[in-house]
Amino acid sequence: MERKMLVREAKRLALLRMEDAARTEDEFRAVIKQWDHNDENEARRVRDHEMQRVENTLEVGYTHGMIIPAPISHPAWLEVIKGDFLPMVFDNADEMWQIIGDWDVAKLVKSLTKKQTEILFLRVVRKCTNAQVACHHEKTDRATRKLYAATIDSIRNKLAPLVREQIKTNCPTMTKAKQDFLFWYDVEKAVEKDKSADGRKSHE
């Protein structure tokens, strides 16, 4: 996992250097082509892991008094068949924090704003795509992705110092998942710092 992360970040830095060094029209076209290629790969990766839902999933919830149940192939029933009842029980953005096993993360989710809670609920619990959420709220797909990314970043930035403190105090709630998260978080922040430094150098 660590090796893959380093390879991916090395490619990202190489593309940024390529972008900074571009001077001619052909070089800029090559940079744009590479960025488009990366975006297509990212969209394909996200699409392959998303549980696709029909558009009316946003209007018809699990507890809206439906007389005729959803088809057995509906994601809601697939979750129940797997034994995952909590998303159906807490089918509400305001109660979403109760389905989170880690109390530290649950408290952070509970403290989110209404917009952040709603988009997190639709993307994580309902498994809706960014396009479906954007259509429901009459926003662009880009704006939806930006809000979702900002919500996730907010949780991560608040969680990291909590995990550091738990490591120092040998907190009994410390898990390997939290340790792995902190390692990943530090790598990401280091890469962002390098990118920012490279950007300042290119402007000097």
- pLDDT tens digits for range 89-111: 667 788 888 877 788 888 999 99
Judged by DSSP in three states, 101 sits in coil
Question: What is this structure's pTM?
Answer: 0.54
CA triplet 157, 161, 166: central angle to 5 degrees?
140
- pLDDT tens digits for range 40-86: 777 776 655 554 444 444 444 444 444 445 566 666 677 777 777 76
Q: Quickly tell me which residue has 């488009």 as its tokens.
A: 36
Distances (CA, A) of 44 to 49, 55, 123: 9, 20, 17
- pLDDT tens digits for range 111-145: 999 989 989 888 887 778 888 888 877 888 888 99
Contact 156, 185 (CB under 8 A): yes
